[in-house]
Structure 1
Amino acid sequence: MKTMYGTPRRTLILLSFFLIAAPLLSQTNEEVFREFQFNFSPPGARAKGMGSTFIALADDASATYANPAGLAFLRDPAITIEYSYTTKKEITGVVSGNINFGYTQEPVIDRDLSFFSLNYRFKEWYLALFGHNFLEEKQARSFTARSLSNGLEEIATLNVALGLNGKTYGVGLARRIGSWKAGMTIGLSNLAIDSRSQKQKLIILPQFSSETFTTEIHGRKQALTWSAGLLWHASDQWSMGMVYRENPSFALHESIAAVTAGQPISSSTEDVNFVVPDTHGAGISYKPCPGLHFLLDWQHIQYTQIIEDGFTIVENIGIDQKAYYTTDDVDELHFGVEYLKPLNHAVLAFRTGYYRNPNHFIQYEGADSIQQSLFSRKRGDEESHITIGIGWSRKNQIEVDLAVDFWGDDLTVLASLLWRKK
């Protein structure tokens, strides 16, 4: 594997692949893991409609993720389910120069039952059984590059397929302590992964030869996760909350095969630690008058754990080093508003919100100029999310919520249904 991409000319071919995709997140130094982001927004159409703010409010079943202390609001037995729909557009392009290449990322449509919760109170203890998706990613990307330099003609292709599905099932427990509420959850996270990346290189002139490099990960893994939170009601108008989540880490095995024309197949297996970064956050809720809420959440995501605990060198083993790569933690601010309009035996809710998902690029700090240009780039827009939502509840027993999250040309739609036993 050392010799496959060792020369500057060959590395430049690979660079043409990599420059297509901003390295938003990576578990290894290969392209297949470069273009997905975890979803650290709380479940629930109500929270989504308010810009995914819920840490200081947390008064429905989605508190199991947003802030488990909020489970202490739920005095009545209840069932909550959520359905999500996400669409991402196709991305294509062509770049010409000394190396000509084109690329395609196929459109994605995801539909899923993304959250459920069963809530029950036993005396002064508030219990929840829940399940939610923490990761849902499907990708198919292809790249083609062609170069002609100093009488040497090369054609290279890269095909990437990535499927990730992460679900957590767990139990939550909360209790009231005066003007405070405290809660925690513990869960079993399940990760299903199917990934395949294949690079093929053909040297046409002056003498035909070929090289193929293939990596694959297939399987299911489980790991424990937990969270803890606090809520403090300072007055009828103000409340504050804080939460900490220790997210799972999964030990995976990646199969690698390198084939060069006329030489034996070189194969190996690498251990890859797939890390879901830990998070913590705080929020403020302000209620200036009945029926109106303003919310502000701050969330800190420890993306540095991906490098510290999980980054694996798969390509260019013996040449590239983990110490050359770094990334930064990210702070997210979320803002949301909710207005409740009472009707006859019912309530209408109108919601809106905004937040930005900052870029969190993997950066290269070694001496190789090609890798510096690849990993030190910070171009590209942050994701700006605008959310809107509406809700309807009747006699505080049945509640239906709908929310839409717009970012760029992509969107997510959430629909939630809640039933309480009265």
Structure 2
Amino acid sequence: MKKMLATAVAIGLIGMTGQAVAITDNEANASLPFSFTNPGARAMGMGGAFLGLSDDASAAYTNPAGLTQLVSPEIALEIRSVDTNTRWLDGGNVQYNPFNSSGLNYSSQNDDTTSLRSFSFVYPGERMSFAVYRYEIVNYETDFQSAGATWTTGDDSGQFGDIFAYDVNGNLEIEVYGAAMGFKVNDQFSLGLGINYYYLDISATTDRFFPNGDPGVREASLNGDGGWGFNLGARWAATDWMSVGLSWRYAPDLNYDSLLTAPYAPGESFLTETDMNVPDVFGIGFSFRPSDAWIINFDVNRVFYSQITDDLNSAFESDQVTELDPLKLKDGTEIHLGTEYTFATKYPFSIRVGAWHDPAHEMVYRGTPAPTDFNTTLLPPVNAATFSAGRGSQTHYTFGAGMAFSNFQIDLGADFSDTSDMLSLSGVYRF
């Protein structure tokens, strides 16, 4: 068994060594919690819909064309707490031929992070406004142990075996640092440009174990680096009661190292440069104002999730097409809808509600694995079983409130779904 695993690793690495490859089929990558929602508790309370409005300092990242609406310098800060429900394969039995995963078991846990999610500073001018900002696309930590699974061939051969148990310890953070400008073409139309530096901080290990409990192969992800991207934005105030916003965020490929080691092969290790492709996002948003107190926002975002797995690779699968293509992600469309109503009291008070559709973007095996053999031994459908814990698309429900003072505004936001819960506290100071 050890010889078979070591040889499988070597076969995979022959194709990987000496070239940069994309994200791998590591168990830790089954559910990467990317978030492309707009920054700020105010936007969160309105279902994340803010492209067409973009009327505060968070526009620096959301839609830089909206910066031209500001008349005084602003600083915006957001603290966000994210509770992610991580789910994984944890025991049971899978039948290989014909494939039947109904006997598999799954476990889950809640992974919490709290951080300064976003910061922006805007200095407006008569026709041109400038901003600097920081935003976290993802901040995720997890640590879980899987019992693996067993498998049977489902035919008359009587073969059966184990899908190895594994431990995952992961830490993933992607930050964006940027500078933006908005330019007012005329009183109705503005353009925006942002230049971004993306930084990947990754430290993750996946340890696999033989059925007798001996350590097998460790796969580590480390040494993330940075890359440049940009934002383009436009905003058109079509009427006094309707505005339209456009945004395109181009993100780079971020390199990190993938390291394989095994205790039964002392002194041997395999290191290759790997890419994490951050998806591009294109969005269009509409903001309607039925009255001075009431705003309705509607956004549609196209997220190019397929870029994450365009060049998906493996250190273990000898068939890099048949076993990996079913894992590749498809592009998805987010739909955001939210509203805000402001009460004209001494200190104006706003309430917000919204909802949005989050398309499926977990790595889930789609299809039936083809029978494969190695040295005449039928190999288990590892990817088909390991990547079977996905839960599909999600509907998020959001709520929020805020209060404005003479030069300060404070907002609260909440976002709830089956896979994650988010709480946000943000403030805007104008001077």
Distance 2:353 2:199 in 1: 32
Contact 2:300 2:333 in 1 (8 A): yes
Higher RCO (Cα < 8 Å, 6 or more apart): 2
Distance 1:68 1:160 in 2: 39
- Counterpart residue type for residue 196 of structure 2: G
Asked if structure 2 preserves the Cα contact closer than 8 Å seen for 1:154 and 1:203, the reply is no
Equivalent position SS for 2:338 = strand
Aligned equivalents of 1:352, 1:33: Cα separation in 2:
32
Over the matched positions of the two proteins, sequence identity in percent amounts to 22
Aligned counterparts of 2:148 and 2:278: Cα–Cα separation in 1: 33
- Larger mean Cα displacement after TM superposition, 102-111 or 298-307: 102-111
2:170 aligns with 162
User: Aligned partner of 1:413: which letter?
Assistant: L
- What amino acid sits opposite 1:108 in the alignment? D
Report the equivalent of 1:117: 120
Which structure has greater strand proportion?
1
Q: Deviations for 1:75-103, whole angstroms, at most 9, x for unmatched residues? A: 20111111111223576886545799866
CA 1:165/1:361 → structure 2, altered by over 3 Å: closer, same or farther? Answer: closer
Verify: 1:333 aligned to 2:343, yes or no.
no
Q: Distance in 1 between matches of 2:275 and 2:89?
A: 33
* 1:384 corresponds to which of 390, 395, 398: 395
Task: Confirm or deny: 8 A CA contact 1:152 1:203 kept in the other structure.
Answer: no
* Counterpart selection for 2:24 from 12, 16, 28: 28
Task: Give the C-alpha shift of residue 410 in structure 1.
Answer: 3.9
CA displacement 1:101-135 (0-9 Å, x = unmatched): 86654432211111111111244210111111111
- Residue 320 of structure 1 deviates from its aligned partner by 2.7
Q: What are the ranges of 5 or more consecutive residues in structure 2 without an aligned counterpart?
A: 9-21, 96-102, 153-157, 372-380
Residues 206-247 of structure 1: CA distance to partner in whole angstroms, max 9, x if unpaired?
Answer: xxxx56111112223111121011000110111111110001
- Please list every run of 5 or more consecutive structure 1 residues that lacks an aligned counterpart in the other structure: 8-25, 205-209
Maintained 8 Å contact 2:361/2:392: no
Letter in 2 for 1:405: D
What per-residue deviation string (whole Å, max 9, x for no partner) do you get for residues 322-366 of structure 1? 87353311011100101111112x211111100011113545679
Q: Identify the residue that residue 13 of structure 1 maps to in structure 2.
A: none
CA distance in 2, matches of 1:298, 1:151: 50
Q: Secondary structure at the match of 1:72?
A: helix
More displaced 10-residue stretch of structure 1: 163-172 or 44-53: 163-172
Q: In 2 relative to 1, CA 236–354 (structure 1 residues): closer, same or farther, beyond 3 Å? A: same
User: 1:36 is matched by which residue type in structure 2?
Assistant: L
Alpha-carbon contact 1:102-1:143 (below 8 Å) kept: no
CA contact (8 A) 2:151 2:163 kept: no
Distance 1:148 1:170 in 2: 49
237-246 or 212-221, larger mean C-alpha shift:
212-221
Amino acid of the structure 2 residue aligned with 1:169: Y
Question: In the alignment, is residue 175 of structure 1 matched against residue 183 of structure 2?
Answer: yes
What's 2:197 paired with?
188
Shift of 1:146: 6.3
Matched, 1:407 2:417: yes
The reply on whether 1:50 has 2:46 as its aligned counterpart is yes
Secondary structure, counterpart of 1:181 in structure 2: strand
**In the alignment, does 2:144 pair up with 1:135?**
no
Q: Is the 8 A contact 1:273 1:311 kept in 2?
A: no
Aligned length: 392
Residue of structure 1 in register with 2:12 after alignment: none
Comparing 101-110 with 131-140, which one deviates more in the overlay?
101-110
The one-letter amino acid of 1:222's match is G
Report the CA distance shift for 1:279/1:240 in structure 2 as closer, same or farther (over 3 A): same
Q: In 2 relative to 1, CA 103–307 (structure 1 residues): closer, same or farther, beyond 3 Å?
A: closer
* CA distance 1:334–1:215, shift in 2 (3 Å): same
Q: Is the 8 A contact 2:87 2:390 kept in 1?
A: no
Report the equivalent of 2:349.
348
Instruction: State yes or no: 1:234 paired with 2:238.
Output: yes
Q: Using the alignment, how far apart are the partners of 2:124 and 2:108 within structure 1?
A: 48
Match for 1:68 among 64, 73, 76? 64
Query: What residue is the counterpart of 1:18 in the other structure?
Result: none
- Aligned alpha-carbon RMSD (Å): 3.1
Structure 2 partner of 1:358: 359
